[in-house]
Structure 1
Amino acid sequence: MEAVKMGATERRKKIQAVTVLSILGVLIVLAFLVSMNTGYTRLSPLDVIRTLFGGGTAKQELILFDFRLPRIVISVLIGAGLAVSGCILQGLSRNPLADPGILGINAGAGLMVVLFISFFPSKTAAPVLLLPILAFVGAGVTAAIIYGLAYKKHEGLSPTSMVLTGIAVAAGISALMVVLTLRLNPQNYQFVAVWLAGSIWGSNWKFVVSLLPWLIVLLPYVFYKARVLNVINLGEQMATGLGAPVEKERLGLLAASVGIAGACVAVGGGIGFVGLIGPHLARRLIGPKHETLLPASALVGGLLMIVADTIARVIIQPTEIPTGIVVAVIGAPYFLYLLARAR
């Protein structure tokens, strides 16, 4: 009888998970369509459909294919990537406040991009495919420093120490970036200032191509390791007792998280809080099991970013504000709420 009840409960949970994931997918499609219709030059839904099938004017094709579609696709990819990265970090550290932005991983990735801009002439076009690699190196070095400082030999990885160390390292890197920006010429300074605010500056198909390989390679690996994250989330001693090679798996997942976050930051700038909000909202909707939590986090993050970017483009037309500011307006109060609950 108990086995039958457990089986019915599992089936109900699977149906609920599929339903939630389907609804999130539909919402992303709807947000995608609305975002294509929204902008300084308005395109009606019929204009968008006609242009997608090759029946639009040259101006409509330019607006849709060269400006809006690449940016919308990048917004979804960045949101999904940062949310999955945050979900990994929260699982590894067993800390609900873990996030690539709060822990300083985004700042480390950004530092390498700023260094590249600082030491190359303004006329030199930054190699698009090189930026994610540079960001990965910066994020990886930062993550290694945080991990080394927060890890205790006999106690393992301390969740509290990890967050506090990350905040301190992020503050130091931010100060260093301020110093570096002082030597920039006005053109590069303006670019860095907007980039640090979270502007999706890489809004053409070249940047989509530069970001996609990182997500195509790393996201399936992370989804495959979902059960390992479940075990690690039980605690280091419990996971070791169950036979999991904790240190090896943790380093592999941490590297994946850093790679995803670094690539997203290289294209989207210093966007924070997506990695914090996405997993939390997904956990409330679908539960704590990472087999469903990771894809749900990706969908929630993608939806959050596409909505925030659409608002950023239209709220003060004809100009626009960095998407990171809109996300921060949503994320900062939520972070304070989580901090109050943790206390």
Structure 2
Amino acid sequence: MIQPAVIRKQRIILIVLALLIFITMVIGMGMGYSAIPYSRLLPTFLGDGTFKEEFIIFSIRLPRMIITFLAGMALALSGAILQGITRNDMAEPGILGFNAGAGVAITIFFLYMPIEAGSFVYIIPIVGFFGALLTAGIIYLFSYKKNTGLQPVRLVLVGIGFSMALSGIMIVLISSAERVKVDFIAKWLAGSIWGTDWPFIWAFLPWLIILIPFTLYKANVLNILSLNEPVAIGVGLSLEKERVILLLSAVALAASAVSITGGIAFIGLMAPHMAKSLIGPRNQLFLPIAILIGGLLLLVADTVGRNLVEPEGIPAGIVVALIGGPYFVYLILKKS
């Protein structure tokens, strides 16, 4: 049973994170190449803004911030799932190669398939999912041993190798492509938020509406999986079945996010660790916090990145990598 004091602490943390997210969005809506006075934000939301103010906020900045926040949530939850099922604090969809698998599939689709504007936004997450799923399946097979089952450490090592190989394949694919398409893929690789229109939000939301509640429902299973295998088997858990189901959920979350935001890594690494340090390792407690931290991290990274260099800005993926890279090294040193 969870102590009432711990639940109260979790709620306070969630409220603080929600306030930070709100403040970041307000700051982000005013800042940019075409700055809007903060005194004009509320009138614009109430329908009393000029055409320019309404266009900048409702057609450019607000959908971009929403999609960025949702993607950060998905990547954080994917990382938390992977760390739970592998019992490895370094596990993360970018490091394990799932993002790269989604990227290769999206690259092939974008370069060689006929694209229809109306269906493109809805097909891209599905293409990314199947690319990441195929990658995850191959990595899983290489990490599985008949007598001992899935080897968590082996899964991470094989995933890192596949991630590097798939990144090389992507470079080969775009080396002879048209300039316009190469520019798009290059921005995707850098983690540039490109799906910034409302249709991308409607295409992305169903994935989160299904997978976030499902993962929270499986929180107790993740608690058991984080223990050693004999304990998990002893309580009657179908180990491989639950791992596969949760692995599919992690793949779907990561692929749907990066198909719209580009190749962003480290959010799934940092957010679960930060959440655990705030509230502890119990999944029922830290998963909601990790989800909000992930959304906040990517939102802040994109807000900072797009305002550092005008008018193009710095891709959010690069800003996140500048923070996440040293954090990854810190975790390695801490574990050694």
TM normalised by structure 2 equals 0.97
Aligned to 2:53: 60
Q: Deviations over 1:165-213 (max 9, x none)?
A: 0010111111111110012100100111011100010001011111101
Conserved in 2, the CA contact under 8 Å of 1:118 and 1:183? Answer: no
What are the within-5 Å matches in structure 2 for residues 126-141 of structure 1?
127-141=120-134
Q: Deviations over 1:85-121 (max 9, x none)?
A: 0000000000000000000000001111000111036
Aligned to 2:262: 269
Distance 2:292 2:28 in 1: 16
Aligned to 1:155: 148
Deviation (angstroms), 1:157: 2.4
Aligned to 1:3: none
Q: Residue type matched to 1:209 in 2?
A: W
Q: Deviations over 1:33-80 (max 9, x none)?
A: 111111111112221111111000001011000000000001100000
Of 175, 182, 191, which aligns to 1:182? 175
Structure 1 residue 45 and structure 2 residue 67: aligned? no
Question: What stretches of structure 2 of length at least 5 have no aligned partner?
Answer: none
Q: Deviations over 1:224-265 (max 9, x none)?
A: 000010011112221110111122111111111111111001
- Give identity over the alignment, percent: 45
Distance 1:286 1:131 in 2: 36
Q: Residue type matched to 1:193 in 2?
A: A
Of 271, 275, 279, which aligns to 1:278? 271
Secondary structure of 2:93's match?
coil
Distance 1:57 1:339 in 2: 52
Distance 1:35 1:294 in 2: 26
Distance 2:303 2:60 in 1: 13
Question: What stretches of structure 1 of length at least 5 have no aligned partner?
Answer: 1-6
Secondary structure of 2:95's match?
coil
Of 178, 203, 228, which aligns to 1:235? 228
Conserved in 2, the CA contact under 8 Å of 1:156 and 1:236? Answer: no
Aligned to 2:76: 83
Higher mean alpha-carbon deviation, 43-52 vs 98-107, is at 43-52
Structure 1 residue 310 and structure 2 residue 309: aligned? no
Conserved in 1, the CA contact under 8 Å of 2:149 and 2:240? Answer: no
Secondary structure of 1:102's match?
helix
Secondary structure of 2:3's match?
helix
Distance 1:18 1:236 in 2: 32
Structure 1 residue 109 and structure 2 residue 90: aligned? no
Aligned to 2:135: 142
Secondary structure of 1:101's match?
helix
TM normalised by structure 1 equals 0.95
Of 158, 164, 178, which aligns to 1:165? 158
Distance 1:144 1:203 in 2: 31
Conserved in 1, the CA contact under 8 Å of 2:69 and 2:299? Answer: yes
